[in-house]
Structure 1
């Protein structure tokens, strides 16, 4: 027992006496590891109650001791309906999470503050693989819940960069997350990964046996279309190793190859061409027409580059590439 608390008790101090913030000696003891007094006493301070304070601070020994005390309310909530488990998960304190789950804390409790205020979501946001794995080991854990935008925990993890999130995605998939579940925009988690994450995360999704590469979102885009729009050559090549269907246009009437040509992405066109996507004269005609419009426009759209000269060079490079590849006219009605 810490010396300060021992001195307080020896002097006959009231352990349940509260200060102006509603804190008792136990609240302070929870910060250093010694439980005494009313285990569930409410406080207006940021920790709210001793178990929550200890969990928020990562005091695993104190959490384990308090969680096993007779009369403790493991799922006591603060003003935002957050439990000790929420706070431990958000901070990435995996050992505290395991202690709380072992003691019977509700892994599926939801707070009232966040869009998807479950402890699993908070563990994902913490970026701690050990904490996510601890949550996934909870009995009866729900991993298919959706937020108000119909995004699942897998969607949440797929929108982050970094090797640790690649491992978190793998852990969620191993636990049984639905790889093809779509959000309110029709995006599967793989759409998110292609847009926001890394090659390693995309590769993890592609290794899932039931992943649907031809699933279209509300904009009619497959992950191949999204990869072309993002102009990430490494991600595009990963998808092309598994995807061999190229002629399906999106709701915008454009194929992935058409998107690469009108986006003036020569490297993307080369990768698609090498994978077997059919280059047609219609692609050349479309880009040539765009180039003519650009040359006539006194105030062209320069979002892709810094200067008019750079844009002109990109048009020249794309036209030259297409001229070197296209050898015969195809049906002009075929989609680009």
Structure 2
């Protein structure tokens, strides 16, 4: 009986030591992976493409994320390093459409931009990195990917931010042409088009670019607002002016019956809109009398 007890005790002691060895080995391995991952992201942020390539060849996962939940591709895009973006995109199993985690905020001074759900393409569109946006699209990034805030696509974000070069890259891409979607007039979750996003932010160069790509200047969102409504509400005189010169209809009313002139608080814009509204009404009255 004593021999059996001793044998069992020795077995249990050996098992405990073996388990500790496994645990220690796993902990050590996890530490190595963590350190490797930290180095990986450090090199991406520093723009060291040689070290990034070396770590990838040693088996570092190209789809790994940092402590904030950003993918390697997101970090490379934010760092505006096209060489590293290309290196990551060339990896066989790379995910080209990972998304930023919930509560991601991009800061520029005191300005906040909520970036939940943004893919690398949306992030490149936010920053205005046209070459990187073009590269992502050429490798197959989803041109229709949406964020988790407004269902905004890359074209909406680039339009709001005034990144006309990115807008042109997107609309000129084969991805856009083969998408089956009229991307220049696509709406977000409230039907707000890229032209409306640009108009509410007084992005004149983007407005011009979108009009070149045949944006519908009189398209209405879910509330009946046109780009002219947004420009008027934002007191953006130049935006109102360029829209009117490109056949924006100042007489279109929203679902509450309000025209752009009813929304603006700027006296100069109101005077400009009144001129176009009056001209339109006069033309209608003249036509009715002739009939």
The residue that corresponds to 1:93 in the other structure is 48
- SS of the aligned residue for 1:107 comes to coil
Are residues 1:194 and 2:147 paired?
Answer: no
Q: CA offsets per residue over residues 105-144 of structure 1, 9 Å max, x none?
A: 2111223x21x32211111121211121121122211111
Q: Secondary structure at the match of 2:83?
A: helix
Which residue of the partner structure matches residue 76 of structure 1? 33
In structure 1, the partner of 2:59 is 104
Separation in 2 of the partners of 1:281 and 1:316?
17
Q: 2:210 aligns with which of 205, 224, 239?
A: 239
Aligned to 1:11: none
Extract unaligned runs of 5+ from structure 2.
Answer: 1-27, 102-115, 177-182, 286-291
What is the TM-score when the length of structure 1 is the normalising length?
0.61
Q: Partner residue of 2:16?
A: none
Query: Which residue is equivalent to 2:84?
Result: 131
1:1-336 pair list within 5 angstroms? 76-78=33-35, 82-111=37-66, 113-114=67-68, 116-148=69-101, 149-161=116-128, 165-184=129-148, 185-211=150-176, 212-280=183-251, 286=259, 289=262, 311-324=266-279, 327-329=282-284
Write the distance in 2 (CA, Å) between the matches of 1:188 and 1:290. Answer: 27
The number of residue pairs the alignment matches comes to 235
**CA distance in 2: counterparts of 1:281 and 1:223, whole angstroms:** 19
Cα distance, 1:191 vs structure 2: 0.9
Query: 1:49-73 CA distances to partner (integer Å, 9 max, x unpaired)?
Result: xxxxxxxxxxxxxxxxxxxxxxx99
Mapped partners of 2:86, 2:197: distance in 1: 30
Match of 2:104 in 1: none
Q: Aligned-pair distance for 1:229?
A: 0.7
Give the Cα separation in 1 of the matches to 2:31 and 2:92: 15
Instruction: For 1:273 and 1:190, locate their aligned partners in 2 and report how far apart those are by CA, in whole Å.
Output: 23
Gaps of 5+ in 1: 1-41, 43-71, 295-310, 331-336
Deviation at 1:91, TM superposition (A): 1.8
> Which whole-Å CA distance do the structure 2 matches of 1:262 and 1:326 have between them?
22
Distance 1:289 1:213, change over 3 A: closer
Structure 1 residues 198-239: Cα deviation after superposition (integer angstroms, max 9, x where no partner): 221221112123431222112320111111111111100100
* Cα shift at 1:182: 0.9
Is the 2:137–2:175 contact (alpha carbons within 8 Å) kept by the matching residues of 1?
Answer: no
Q: 1:186 to 1:104 in 2, by over 3 A?
A: same
Give the conservation status (yes or no) of the 8 Å contact 1:264–1:318. Answer: no
